[in-house]
């Protein structure tokens, strides 16, 4: 299986610099997958459709499907980054 490489990545954010837009309901565009990578700490990822929550940490990334509404909430001191790709991401890559 070929590794999927992101075409763009966000800056690295911490619990104080995560933009308000990421903390509120938002989604990716059609055809865009997101991969939330936690570098250190923990981050809660809340999916709105279908409703669910997952706790992300350095060993548990979060995958965002195209047009999937979601938001994030820091649980502790955290450093995180979002990678964007045009195909389903490879979490362990």
Residue-level pLDDT at 90: 75
CA distance 73 to 40: 14
Q: Which helix (H) or strand (E) holds 73?
A: strand 70-74
The structural domains of the chain, with segments of one domain joined by +, span 9-85
CB atoms within 10 A of CB 2: 7
Q: Is the pTM of this model over 0.85?
A: yes
Q: Using alpha carbons, list the distances in angstroms from residue 91 to 5, 19, 33, 69, 76.
A: 10, 23, 12, 20, 22
Residue-level pLDDT at 1: 52
**20: three-class secondary structure by DSSP:** helix
Place of tokens 């809660």: 44
Tell me: pLDDT of 50 over 80. Answer: yes
Q: Is CATH 3.40.50.20 the classification given to domain 9-85?
A: no
Tell me: pLDDT of 93 over 60. Answer: no
């Amino acid at each position: 299986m070929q590794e999927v490489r992101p075409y763009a990545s966000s800056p690295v954010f911490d619990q104080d610099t995560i933009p308000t837009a990421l903390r509120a309901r938002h989604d990716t565009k059609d055809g865009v997958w997101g991969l939330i990578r936690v570098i250190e700490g923990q981050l809660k990822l809340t999916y709105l459709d279908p409703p669910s929550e997952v706790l992300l940490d350095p060993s548990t990334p979060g995958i965002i499907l195209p047009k999937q509404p979601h938001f994030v909430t820091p649980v502790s001191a955290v450093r995180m980054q979002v990678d964007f790709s045009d195909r389903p991401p490879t979490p362990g890559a």
